[in-house]
Amino acid sequence: MTRSPASNLRHWMLVVGCWMFGALAALRADDGYRLWLRYDRISDESARTALATRVQAIRFACPNANDSATLAAARQELTAGLHGLLGVVPRMQTVAATPTAELGDEGFRLQHDGATIVISARRDIGILYGAFDLLRRIQTRQSLDAIDVTSVPKIQRRLLNHWDNLNGTVARGYAGGSLWNWFTLPDHVDARITDYARACASVGINGAVLTNVNANARFLTPQMLEKTAALATTLRTYGIRVYLTARFSAPVEIGGLKTADPLDPEVRAWWVKKADEIYSYIPDFGGFLVKANSEGQPGPQDYKRTHADGANMMADALAPHGGIVMWRAFVYSHEAPDDRAKQGHQEFAPLDGQFRPNVVVQVKNGPIDFMPREPVHPLFGAMPQTPLGMEFQISQEYLGCSTQLAFLAPLFEEVLETDTHANGIGTTVGRIIDGSADGHTLSVIAGVANTGNDRNWTGHPLAQSNWYAFGRLAWDHTLASAAIADEWTRMTFGNDAKVVAPITRMLLESRETVVNYSMPLGLHHIMAEGHHYGPGPWVADLPRADWTSVYYHRATEQGIGFDRTATGSNALALQAPEFAKFYGELATCPDEFLLWFHHLPWDHKMRSGRALWDEIALHYQKGVDSVRTWQKTWASLEGSIDPQIHAHVTSLLCIQEREARHWRDACLLYFQTFSKRPLPAGVEPPEHDLNYYKNYQPAYVPGRDGA
């Protein structure tokens, strides 16, 4: 095929641009900015040559062969990536073709056709996803011989929830300020937004909620919509739709109405007009995320209406435009008469079947609040007539913020694979949220983002793996944590087995390690009050009992744990009988959930043969010991990892080891006042007395809402 002069010019401009990009990257120390999209030259000449021969030509096959910004982004990514990795600038051609319907709107097929790689898709965004998939395979040194892969996302809407405030702070954010510079928008969109979009698209994330769930009505004003539209233009190229949080009282706060009652005709008309206005600025606006009647946020219950009344009002306004409402199920009664773990179910399960088709009830993975470990939320499996969306937290609010290594893919995988038994064996949480269990076509998975304007995006260099893992599991929730950890490590640090194996091992151990030194054996919600950083098992006497720690661990001289069986709160009765039986009986309840579901005496004999007190203490010690092992492992990688990143992680592991000891000593000293038992052999004595830990206040912990 002969190129036109214009095509030749574009080709050589891309070549020169890639050369300049590589030259500049070589001059700069690796500060983590590039995330996992590191297109450094493959040093193994034989591997490089073998791969290079397979990518001399690339053909995009899609129905619309015309240029688009998204197709241009795919070409640019492939040109930069293949030139950087292999020294190849491939010939690229777009041809009109209509792939099979099984690819849907976002899927792709990747094939090796003789001397040409063919990426087929029904839409240009599928071509871009296929381009990133090809680059991932090259980065991880996979063979391209006879490749024929079809990939289609299992979940329709795969979102990051940014808890960003208008003033530039990020609630529960630990990586600097907001990515969105509202002050300079709409005139200036930082180039970093394009790199954010590239990273999201590389793992298949296709939506971003830009604003805090504790919503500010000003985001729905024309001034802010104009700014949001500028961001949407950049994100759209990479297949990312913009969503906003909607403050339920907005008709009063910015609309001049005297009520926000969802059944009031004027209020309903106001939301219809507001939706029309939003879509005039952002034609592909995704919809609203709503936190209502929770933690002081306004909502329909202020007017004696139901959550369904409120959600349906907004859904009706958005429906003509194709928008959706994601209504959060994180609610609990002001009266708090019952186990907090039951309250979301009590409010929402009776409303099953009452929501509009474009409403998704967004449910946290567990019933309390993003704990290091929780059983699945009882709403999963309890609302078969309503699409349920998953809400994970990528930001490490309860797992050490961004000072501690905690790879969250095992947490996500544990939840997604849990069988609720709602429709018999095989009704996993993953199948409920992808819609296949109950026949829903609308499906949503969201993760509270861990990004900020720190140069390395996530504060902790290794926390980038959580952004990556969420995206990969959002695309395909059946992927294994080990495979994701291996992928991310190879893409980020190269393919040297002496580097990949130890880092992957650290990642896969890390979540369980944080559980061990903070809240083992089903203990939960025993963190410090307010900032949630560090231990606070003694926290009591707050306005609500279920904001305290003592409410959850219930330690006395007789024992410890929250009885959620029939002899206690009976929260297990909300689950399917098979689920309830498994966790309700001591013979089958796994150790990791023991104190979540049972209150047991300190001398209860564990499966290990040890007493419960000894088991708790040894778990805390194991957590500390694991971090110390990582310190040695990481030190051994010096010289194999960029010095700047190596030094940064080294310092953070020092913090993590200190914090692990702090958790261990504070919790064991406190619980020892009830158990009256000595620490078992192998557990180090605390460095200070209990009063020291009770009075310890870490200064300037980031991420408090509005701080």
The residues annotated as belonging to the active site are: 295, 369, 397
Q: What number of residues does the chain have?
A: 707
Instruction: Give the list of residues 6+ apart from residue 327 with CB closer than 8 angstroms, or none.
Output: 290, 292, 307, 310, 311, 355, 359, 360, 361, 362
Q: How far apart are CA 399 and CA 408, in angstroms?
A: 10
Q: Is 676 exposed, middle or buried (0-12, 13-18, 19+ CB in 10 A)?
A: exposed
Q: What are φ and ψ of residue 532, in 5° steps?
A: 70, 15
At CA 271, angle to CA 270 and CA 276, rounded to 5?
100
For residues 125 and 130, give the distance between their C-alpha atoms in angstroms, rounded to a whole number.
9
End-to-end, the C-alpha distance of the chain in Å comes to 59
Question: Which ranges of 248-354 does DSSP label H, i.e. alpha helix?
Answer: 250-253, 265-281, 307-318, 340-348
What amino acid is encoded at 155 in this protein? I
Give the Cα-Cα-Cα angle 194, 400, 677 (nearest 5 degrees).
165
Q: Which two tokens stand for residue 163?
A: 């808890």
697: its two tokens: 């206040």
In which element (H, E) is residue 364 found?
strand 359-364
Phi, psi of 64 (to 5 degrees): -105, 105
CA 480 from chain centre, in angstroms, equals 16
Q: How far apart are CA 402 and CA 553, in angstroms?
A: 26
What does the alpha-carbon distance between residue 293 and residue 302 come to, in Å, rounded to a whole number? 8
Q: What angle do CA 423, 427, 428 make, to 5 degrees?
A: 160
Residue 17 makes CB contacts below 8 A (sequence gap 6+) with: 79, 80
Q: How do beta strands 108-113 and 148-151 pair?
A: antiparallel
Give just the sign of the alpha carbon dihedral 401, 404, 408, 411: negative
Count of Cβ atoms closer than 10 Å to residue 615 Cβ: 20
For 45, the token pair is: 């000449």
Contact 114, 56 (CB under 8 A): no
The H-assigned helical ranges of 282-339 are: 307-318
CA-wise closest residue to 409 among 506, 494, 490 = 506
Alpha-carbon separation of residue 86 from 46, 90, 705 (angstroms)? 11, 10, 46
DSSP string, 86-153: HS---EEEEEE----GGGTTT-EEEEEETTEEEEE-SSHHHHHHHHHHHHHHHHTT---TT-EEEE--
Residues 458/464, Cβ–Cβ less than 8 Å:
yes
679 and 537 in contact (C-beta within 8 Å)?
Answer: no
Token representation of residue 225: 């919509």
Cβ atoms of 257 and 270 closer than 8 Å: yes
